[in-house]
Structure 1
Amino acid sequence: MKRVLVVDDNEANLYLLRQVLQSNGYAVDEARHGLEALAHAQTSRPALLITDLLMPEMDGYTLLRQWKTDPALKHIPSIVYTATYTDSDDQRLALQLGADAFIVKPMEADAFVAVVNQVIEKAKNGSLPATAPGNEPLEETQVAYNATLVRKLEKRSLEMRTLTRNLHASKARFKALAENSMDMILEADPILHRILWVNRAACEGFGLSLEAFVNADSKRFYDQSDPRLATLIAERDATGRTRGEVTAIRANGAHFPVEISSVVYSTPEHQQIANITLRDLSAQKQAQATLLQSQADAATLQAAMDAHALLSMTDAEGVITYVNDGLCATSGYRRDELIGKTHLVLRSDQHDATEYRALWRTVQAGQMWKGEWCNRTREGALFWVETTVVPFATTQGPPDKYVTIQTDITERKLAERQRGELEAQLRETQKLQAVGTLASGIAHDFNNIVAAILGFSTLMREEIAPDGPAAEYLGQIQKAGRRAREVVQRIVSFSRPQSTALADIAVQDAVHETLAIAQATLPTTIAFKTHLPNQPVLVRADNTQLQQVLLNIYTNAWHAAPAKSARIDTRLEICNFASTDTAKPPNLAPGPFAHLWISDNGCGMSEAVRQRIFDPFFTTKPVGQGTGLGLSAVRSIVVAHHGAITVESQPDVGTTFHLYFPLVDQSDFHQPVARKPEITPPLTGSPHVLLVDDDSPITLLLEAILARAGFRVTPFTDPALALAALQKCPKDFDLLLTDFNMPGMSGLELARQVQSIRADLPIAIVSGHISSELIQQAHTLRIEALLHKERVSEDLVLRLSQLLQTSET
């Protein structure tokens, strides 16, 4: 690689020539003046010398003279490259002194390289002119050199004076510019970290005077814990410049963000100076923070609005120009399907045209409209919204846009409807509870009567001939009494609130039990017919709820029945539905079902009524005679049992209800085994019974039954007198038999006081109605014998004998 020696005191020129020559395959050596060049050439011979003319220490002319007089260097070609000596005399003198080419700056790089290549090639070929100093007379050459030098020095002096004036003016302008800059400008020693100068803005920004700044440690003005600072300093050390953001510290210790730009440069005296420009970003950061907060608030507000409100905007004609995500999600429409349309696209059939016109007149008058509105989704479902329409009025006329803010209240409306249904159901339940309470009270009194009828008729049969007419008559009395007892028991069982208890039951049993209640409570003019299979049809159901379903349908059939020849038929069969069976009711799974249908010959119903028959609160009865919840509750019970209910009806012909319940495996059903009659334990002696009942006929009946069985009985109709007798002779009695419901003192209270007198005395309570509360209270008092008063003729002696036997053991 050919080596070129470049001589120039200007660093920029050296850099430029080095880049051009190296990019064209030359190695470059550098010197700042003639003496340095001569010394360098002695140790490293170049293939070419390129020199400027005006330089310190030794100028280019002198260098050329000594170059050509040096035996070791004179054969190396040289080129003069100058911007100072540019006239023809300068060129002639340079060539006389031995230069092989003369180039005036600036010259294009390609042309410059071409000259270099040409000179080297000619030197190699020996085709350069043999020019050497001394060919011209020495005095003439010296005179020419001196004249040229004086001329150039004078020119250079003039240029220097001009440059100095310009420099002073430039410095003044720079100082004025820096001093009046709104940015903070500092100059510092990058090595010693000492502040050399700051402008007015820096003094104001940091809160220090110029005197306090100068020679201060520059590191004290930056937060040294800021990790960005070390990165920026490293970048400046590596490249001489940097830009970024750091945290500065004011004189009062306050931290504030700044944008920093720093460049390191060298002075003519070769001193490195770091120029630092700082821009206070406090206001900008605050604005950015405010903007970010505003954006976050807006996003939060938008999210809140999308989550809780449905927003839309329309123009003056009601054409939608904006909708939010919430409205799209609720309505099911895409944004592009709504924009450009009116709100009529959401119109439901819940409001008539007058309501729409009233709303439009209100907002066109510039008034806000508020209310509840029902819309329809893209799929056709209804949804309710609480709506506020806000008109945006103009100063010159009517509103030119409207904003609609809506809140989806569909769940609330459904909840209100359900609450109404529940309240109505609660009223019905309360009525049923009242009926149950009334039934319990009636049952107690009625069972006293039934107990007297059955008990005395039993005693009478023992007094007469078994084959006479009187015995037959008494048998009929007892049969009627037992029927009355069963009817009362069914009414009490049906009206008593119970939790749902699913069990495998025969549908026929539920029908028979319900018909017994219906025949006892509905008019006798109704003819009940049943067509039930002999083999039990098993379903898994709550027996009480199934009876409620049947009784409700029977009651509705009675209400629709004609005045004469009313008929209600009940039929039962087993059907098996395939998934493709068209006869299968909708939403019913394939499989075997018990099909129970109830038909009447009543007034029937229209198709419109039939379609709404199961809707809550729908009724065709006059106000005050129906709640519209009976058949709604029926359907709910059937569906809860995984079944289905359908209805057929024709006006003036009649109605048929079809009920379907999933069938259970018939093989698991076993007919209940009849219990063997219990044997009454024999009495030891004649046990003495303390008998208490406020009903004299019942007292007489119980006394007679017990006396016939071998008991000694001391009867009382007043609990207080019975208690006094026990207190007087507590060891005389073997057992207490007391009624439960008595005035002044209940049987339970009497039992408590008796136990306080004699804790070991067996106690039995007899009542016309035994509730779950009575059973619990009796258990608490360790009373083990509770007797149904209507069954005393069958159970009294057995139960008291068992009680005495248990107490003895």
Structure 2
Amino acid sequence: MKSYKVLIIDDDPNILNSTHIFLTEEGFNVSKAESGEKAVDMLRKGTYDLIITDLIMGQIDGIDVLKAAKKINPDTRVIILTGFKEMSLTIESIRNKADDYLLKPCEPDDLLYRMGNCFKELELIRKNRRTEQALIESEKRYRNLVESTHDQIWSIDIAGKHTFANKAITEILGYEVHEVIDEPVISFVHPDDKKNIKKLFINSIETKCGWNNVVNRWIHKDGSFRFIESSATPMIDSEGNLMGFSGVDRDITDRKRMEAEILQSKKLESISILSGGIAHHFNNIFGIILGNSELAMEEIPESFSGYSYVKNIKTASMRAAEIIKHLICFCQKNDPIINPNKVSLMIKESLDFIRTIIPSTVEIRHSINVTKDTILADPLQINQIMMNLCVNASPAMESDGGLIEVTVDNIYLDSKSINNNSDLKKGHYVQLKVRDTGSGIDPAIIDQIFDPFFTTRDIGKGFGMGLAVVHGIVKEHKGSISVESIIGKGTTFTILFPVYKEKTKINIIETDESDELVLGKERILFIDDIEDITVITKDLLEHLGYHVESTTDPREAINIFVKKPYMFDLVISDMAMPYMTGVTLFEKVKQIRNDIPFIICTGYSELINKEKAKKMGISDYVMKPIDRHNLSKIIRNVLDNKGIIRNDLS
């Protein structure tokens, strides 16, 4: 009881003092005032839990004290002490929110009882206030939590209309909260996914169950789409009626992008492994076919009909080897190697490969008219651009046929042109155009075609990453890409690459059309684990004038070289062999004689490439199959430079 502060007011000193003594003995913290004026003054200076006041006093009576107390602190409890003759005033006091009244004189126990009721009311008021404050704080915390999360928190009614959405919807879908309230959820769903959403919603209403981690595509306000992962629980009232659903949506677009990239990478990795195995074995076979064809062509006069047949065999084997080479290049995932390269050569090589993989009903034409031909580029990435643009266009023309036309020209961008393309600088450019006669692109979606995951193909038939990759490669090469399309007529992609300004002399490899054989008389040690290749290559080298000792076992090659290390002017070895690789053989040979030139030939290897071979000090690295013209030039180049590594890495 000591925690309660009580103020008693009475202008009768005897009643005031006796009441003060009684309540003090009962353990209350009691103050007293002998007039209404003093009481009001005390109320202004301090707070009291309970006021017990006489009704009839001087200038300020009990009703005035009551009004002042309730104005200062509405929670203060007030008991009015009154006589029977003052009942009208008592009624007025009740109207002014007096909490209780007692007739004078009152029994002590009766007073304590009434005081106890007032304290109970006071505790109830305080408890309710604490509860209300706790609810306010809880709602505030909930609101802060809901609004601070990056996930979209929402509720919908059984009609499928939004009844609540947090601010995350703006971040995820671009809409303000007021734009989605009372709007049907289905209106924000990608057209291809609306059927799934409707089916899910109907089933959830029928079963009164929610859903977990359901992924669909939603339309952003800017017209793009997002992958949204949604989970929800039903809202059931006290009578068991379904009122709607509340849930959480998460934007997983970035995750889906990474999944698509990983899946694409794994597909390419699988193809790369497969094509690597094919390349290794096929290139060895092509080497045998090519070698025998060339030897046969030496024995058969050109005037004989058989000569042209053998020449066709040689040409076909070289063509097949080129297809394998392009397949490996396309599948390999290497860091870009950007060097000065001729556009004409890169485009022609790409088209040669593309013709072998697109439907035969699609014709490819090309026109290359450039004088400034060199750009800074990675040939593999230029090949990837051509692959994506041409292969992407071909399905629409497969059944009825069509045309893909590739043109390469030089253009000059002046200041006016630059204003229309702020990504570029004034100067000379190579303009690459890829035009198809397909079905064209809908103007409503043409601005989205470079967005990751955007695809017009059926689900499962494309990731929507091809044109996004093209866009990324073009930007990496400091270029620009644009698209024009007419429905029913076709589409044209225009790419601009800045012409390379030659500051120093560069070594750009061009195709050597010369059929002249380069001969020699030096001594060569040749090693390949496939006997047919060893035999045919030995014959080819001897036809070129060289003295050749050969073996199919690298261990035997070491023994031969140890016995007469200075007998040989050059060692040529296969890469993948039993017992040791060509690199291991190279290292062992170098330990015996450090100045011996060394060439590695391989059908395919993940362990070594041109760059690695150069760093190791290997004189040259050659992909199989090699015709005798190229072989003769490579050997002559290595011998004449006495093992100096070639600078070109083409």
TM-score normalized by structure 1? 0.49
Give the C-alpha shift of residue 176 in structure 1.
2.0
CA distance in 1 between partners of 2:574 and 2:177 (Å): 78
1:355 deviates by 6.3
Which of 481, 498, 510 is equivalent to 1:644? 481
In structure 2, the CA distance between the partners of 1:770 and 1:579, relative to structure 1 (3 Å rule), is: same
Across the aligned residues of Structure 1 and Structure 2, the Cα RMSD in angstroms comes to: 6.2
After TM superposition, list the pairs within 5 Å mapping 1:105-184 onto structure 2. 171-183=17-29
Matches within 5 A, 1:481-496: 484=319, 492-496=328-332
Q: CA 1:743–1:303 in structure 2 vs 1: closer, same or farther (change >3 Å)? A: same
Counterpart amino acid of residue 174 in structure 1: H
Q: In structure 2, which of residues 347, 353, 357 is the aligned counterpart of residue 511 of structure 1? A: 347
CA distance in 1, matches of 2:325, 2:176: 64
Give the C-alpha shift of residue 331 in structure 1.
7.4
In the alignment, does 2:283 pair up with 1:446?
A: no
Q: Is 1:393 aligned to 2:228, yes or no?
A: no
User: Bigger radius of gyration, 1 or 2?
Assistant: 1
User: Any residues of structure 2 matched to 1:165-564 within 5 Å, and which?
Assistant: 171-183=17-29, 296-308=137-149, 342-344=182-184, 347-350=187-190, 359=201, 367=208, 369-370=210-211, 384=228, 386=230, 388=232, 390-391=234-235, 393-394=237-238, 402=243, 405-409=246-250, 411-413=251-253, 415-416=255-256, 419-420=259-260, 422-424=262-264, 426-428=266-268, 430-432=270-272, 434-451=274-291, 453-454=293-294, 477=311, 480=315, 484=319, 492-503=328-339, 505-518=341-354, 528-537=364-373, 539-555=375-391
- What amino acid does structure 2 have at the position aligned with 1:548? Q
Partner amino acid, structure 2, of 1:570: V
Give yes or no for the alignment of 1:658 onto 2:497. Answer: no
State whether structure 2 residue 629 is matched by structure 1 residue 794.
no
Over 3 Å counting, the alpha-carbon distance change for 1:175 and 1:510 in structure 2 is: same
* Corresponding position of 1:715: 550
> Cα distance, 1:633 vs. partner?
4.1
Alpha-carbon deviations, 1:463-516, whole Å to 9, x = none? x9xxx858x969995995996576765555455433223445443332222233
2:617 matches 1:773: no
Query: Over residues 209-238 of structure 1, what are the superposed CA-to-partner deviations in whole Å (9 max), with x where a residue is unaligned?
Result: xxxxxxxxxxxxxxxxxxxxxxxxxxxxxx
How far did residue 550 of structure 1 move?
1.9
Is the CA contact 1:366–1:398 (under 8 Å) kept in the aligned structure 2? no
1:598 counterpart (408, 413, 434): 434
The answer to whether the 8 Å contact 1:646/1:658 transfers is: yes
Q: Is the 8 A contact 1:366 1:392 kept in 2?
A: no
Aligned length: 528
Deviations 1:116-152 (A, max 9, x none): xxxxxxxxxxxxxxxxxxxxxxxxxxxxxxxxxxxxx
CA distance in 1, matches of 2:340, 2:331: 22
Contact 1:388 1:405 (8 Å CA) reproduced: yes
Q: Which one has more relative contact order, counting CA pairs under 8 Å at least 6 apart?
A: 2
The structure-2 alpha-carbon separation of the partners of 1:447 and 1:345, relative to structure 1 and needing over 3 Å to count, comes to closer
The percent of aligned pairs where both chains have the same amino acid is: 16
Name the aligned partner's letter for residue 178 of structure 1: T
Q: Please state how far the C-alpha of 1:546 moved relative to its aligned partner.
A: 1.7
**Contact persistence 2:210–2:234 (CA under 8 A):** yes
Q: Distance in 2 between matches of 1:536 and 1:714?
A: 48
CA distance in 1: counterparts of 2:413 and 2:644, whole angstroms: 58
Amino acid at match of 1:657: T
One-letter amino acid matched to 1:794: K
DSSP 3-state at the match of 2:21: helix
> Partner letter of residue 551 of structure 2?
F
Change (3 A) 1:167 1:390: same
Residues 153 and 249, structure 2, Cα contact 8 Å, conserved in 1: no
Contact kept in structure 2, 1:436 and 1:496, CA below 8 Å: no
Contact 2:576 2:582 in 1 (8 A): yes
CA contact (8 A) 2:371 2:410 kept: no
Residues 705, 793 of structure 1: 8 Å contact kept: no
Aligned to 1:271: none
Within 5 A, what are the aligned runs for 1:88-107?
none
The letter of the residue matching 2:480 is G
Maintained 8 Å contact 1:751/1:763: no
Gaps of 5+ in 1: 1-165, 187-240, 246-278
Secondary structure in structure 2 of the residue aligned to 1:342:
coil
Match of 2:598 in 1: 764
Partner of 2:577: 742
Distance in 2, Cα, partners of 1:491 & 1:334: 49
Assess if the C-alpha contact under 8 Å between 1:386 and 1:407 holds in 2.
yes
* Pair 540,489 (structure 1): closer, same or farther in 2 beyond 3 Å: same
| 3-state SS, counterpart of residue 773 of structure 1 | coil
Residue type of the partner of 2:634?
D
Q: In 1, distance between residues paired with 2:14 and 2:551?
A: 139
Contact 1:694 1:718 (C-alpha < 8 Å) held by counterparts: yes
Unaligned runs of 5+ in 2: 1-11, 33-43, 49-118, 646-650
Amino acid at match of 1:774: I
Do 2:362 and 2:398's aligned partners in 1 also have CA atoms closer than 8 Å?
no
Q: Could you list the per-position Cα deviations for residues 286-324 of structure 1 after superposition, in whole angstroms to 9, with x for gaps in the alignment?
A: 999998777655533331132237667789999988776
Summarize deviations over 1:248-282 as a string: whole Å, max 9, x none: xxxxxxxxxxxxxxxxxxxxxxxxxxxxxxx9xx9
